[in-house]
Structure 1
Amino acid sequence: MNRKTLVLPALVGLLAPVLAACGSTDSGAGGDGAIVVGTTDQFVASEENPAPFDPAIGYDAGVWNVLRQTVQTLTVVPSGGGEPVPEAARSCGFTDTESESYRCTLREGLTFADGTPITAEDVKHSVQRVVAIGADSGPTGLLDNIDTIETKGDQQVIFHLKTPDATFPYKLSTPAAGIVPKKHYAAKTPRDGFQVDGSGPYTMKPEVKDGRVVKINFSKNPSYKGELKVLNEKVEMDLFPDSEAMGKALDEKKIHVMTRAMSPEQARDLLVNPQEGVELTEMPGLAIRYLAFNTKDPVVNKAVRQAMAQIIDRGEIAGEVYGTTAEPLYSMIPTSIAGHTNSFFNKYGEPNTAKAAETLRDAGTKTPVKFTLHYTNDHYGPATAKEFKTLQQQLNRSGLFDVDVRGTEWSKYRPEQKRGDYAAYGMGWFPDFPDPDNYTAPFLDKNNFLNSPYRSREAQDVLIPQSRREADRTAAGETYEKLQDIVANDVPLLPVWQGKQYVASRAGIAGVERSVSSTSELQLWELNRPNA
Structure 2
Amino acid sequence: MRRTAKAARRAMIAGGAAAVVVLAGCASPAAPERRDAAVEVVELTPAPAGELDRITWAVSSEPASLDWIYNADNTTGSILANVCEGLLRLAPDLSLEPALAESFDHPDATTWVYTLRDGARFHDGSPLTADDVVFSLQRHLDPAAGSFWSGAFANVASIAATGPLEVTVTLSAPDELFNAYMSSPAGIVERAATVQELGERYGTPQGGVNCIGPYAFDSWDSGQTITLVRDDDYFDPELRAKTETVEFAIVRDPAAVVNGLLSGSLDGTWEVAPSAITRLSGSGVGTVSYGPSTQGYNAIVMDPTGPLADPVVREALSMVIDRQAIIDVAIAGAGQEQRAPAVPGTWGYERDAFQAAWDDIDSATLDLDAAKELLATTTAPTEPIVLATTSAEAQTPVIGAEIQSAAAKIGLDVEISSVPVDQYYAVYTDAEARKGIDLYLTAWGTDFADPLQMYRYFETGNFYNFFGFSNPDYDALIAQAGTQSDPAERAASIVEAQRIVVDESLWIPLYAPYNTMFLNARATGAPASYVQLHSPWAAMIGAAG
The answer to whether structure 1 residue 278 and structure 2 residue 286 are counterparts is yes
1:193 is matched with: 204
1:122 and 1:78 map into 2 onto residues whose CA distance is 24
Aligned counterpart, 2:55:
35
CA deviation profile, 1:227-278 (whole Å, cap 9, x unmatched): 8512232222222123321121122221222x2231223222344xx33342
Q: Is the 8 A contact 1:166 1:470 kept in 2?
A: yes
Alignment CA distance shift 1:121-1:520 (3 Å): closer
**Deviation string for 1:274-300 (max 9, x for gaps)?**
333423322222221112123532422
Indicate yes or no: 2:363 matched with 1:363: no
Unaligned runs of 5+ in 1: 1-11, 19-23, 46-51
Letter in 1 for 2:447: D
**For residue 69 of structure 2, what is the aligned residue in structure 1?**
56
C-alpha distance in 1 between matches for 2:341 and 2:420? 25
Q: Deviations over 1:507-532 (max 9, x none)?
A: 2312034586387966101101256x
1:390 and 2:402 correspond: yes
1:484-515 deviations in Å (ceiling 9; x for gaps): 21111112212111011232222231203458
State the TM-score, normalized to the length of structure 1. 0.83
Cα separation, partners in 2 of 1:443 and 1:480, compared to 1, 3 Å: same
Of the structure 1 ranges 294-303 and 514-523, higher mean CA displacement relative to structure 2 is found in: 514-523
For residue 303 of structure 1, give the secondary structure of its aligned residue in structure 2.
helix
**Which piece of structure 1 moves more, 433-442 or 222-231?**
222-231
Measure the CA separation in 1 of the matches of 2:398 and 2:486. Answer: 41
Code of the residue aligned with 1:282 in structure 2: it is Y
Secondary structure of the residue aligned to 2:173 is coil
Aligned-pair CA distance for 1:343: 5.0
Residues 362-395 of structure 1: CA distance to partner in whole angstroms, max 9, x if unpaired? Answer: 333344x4121113432xx322221212221211
Amino acid at match of 2:62: F
Letter in structure 2 aligned against 1:455: S
CA distance in 2, matches of 1:310, 1:332: 16
8 A Cα contact 1:89 1:107, kept in partner: yes
State the distance in 1 between where 2:139 and 2:532 align: 28
2:81 match: 68
CA-to-partner distance for each residue in 1:2-32, whole Å, 9 max, x for gaps?
xxxxxxxxxx9733669xxxxx99xxxx8xx
Aligned residue for 1:487? 501
Structure 1 residue 451: deviation in Å? 4.1
> 2:78–2:532: 8 Å Cα contact kept in structure 1?
no
Instruction: State the shift of 1:113 in Å.
Output: 0.8
Matches within 5 A, 1:80-119: 80-82=93-95, 84-96=96-108, 98=109, 100-119=110-129
In the TM superposition, residue 189 of structure 1 has moved relative to its aligned partner by: 7.8
Check the 8 A contact 2:515/2:528 in 1, yes or no: no
Supply the distance in 1 between the matched residues of 2:238 and 2:420 (Cα, whole angstroms).
36
In 1, distance between residues paired with 2:369 and 2:535? 42
Q: Which residue of 2 aligns with 1:406?
A: 417
1:348 and 2:357 aligned:
no
Matched ranges for 1:121-132 at <5 A: 121-132=131-142
Is 2:69–2:147's contact at 8 Å kept on the other side of the alignment?
Answer: no
In structure 1, give the amino acid aligned to 2:331.
Answer: Y
- 1:92 deviates by 0.8
2:293 counterpart letter in structure 1: G
C-alpha contact 1:61 1:430 (8 A) present in aligned 2: no
* Correspondence for 2:333 among 324, 328, 331: 324
Q: Do residues 459 (structure 1) and 474 (structure 2) align?
A: yes
1:497 aligns with 2:511: yes
Q: Is the 8 A contact 2:58 2:251 kept in 1?
A: yes
Partner of residue 168 from structure 1, selected from 154, 169, 178: 178
AA of the residue aligned to 2:473 = E
Q: Structure 2: which 5+ residue stretches go unaligned?
A: 1-39
CA distance in 1, matches of 2:529, 2:314: 39
Deviations 1:293-351 (A, max 9, x none): 23532422123222222222212211221122122211112124233556597343632
Cα RMSD (Å): 3.1
Residue 103 of structure 1 aligns to a residue whose secondary structure is strand
- Please give the TM-score of this superposition, normalised by the length of structure 2: 0.81
Letter in 1 for 2:192: K
Q: In 2, Cα distance between the equivalents of 1:374 and 1:305?
A: 16
496, 505, 508: which one pairs with 2:522?
Answer: 508
Separation of aligned partners in 2, 1:465 and 1:79:
29
Name the residue aligned to 1:224: 234
Instruction: Answer whether contact 2:42 2:290 (CA < 8 A) is retained.
Output: no
- Contact 2:381–2:412 (Cα < 8 Å) also in 1: no
Q: Secondary structure at the match of 1:394?
A: helix
Match of 2:260 in 1: 249
Residue 61 of structure 1 contacts residue 520 of structure 1 at CA under 8 Å; is this kept in 2?
Answer: no
Indicate how the Cα distance of structure 1 residues 488 and 156 shifts in structure 2: closer, same or farther if over 3 A, else same: same
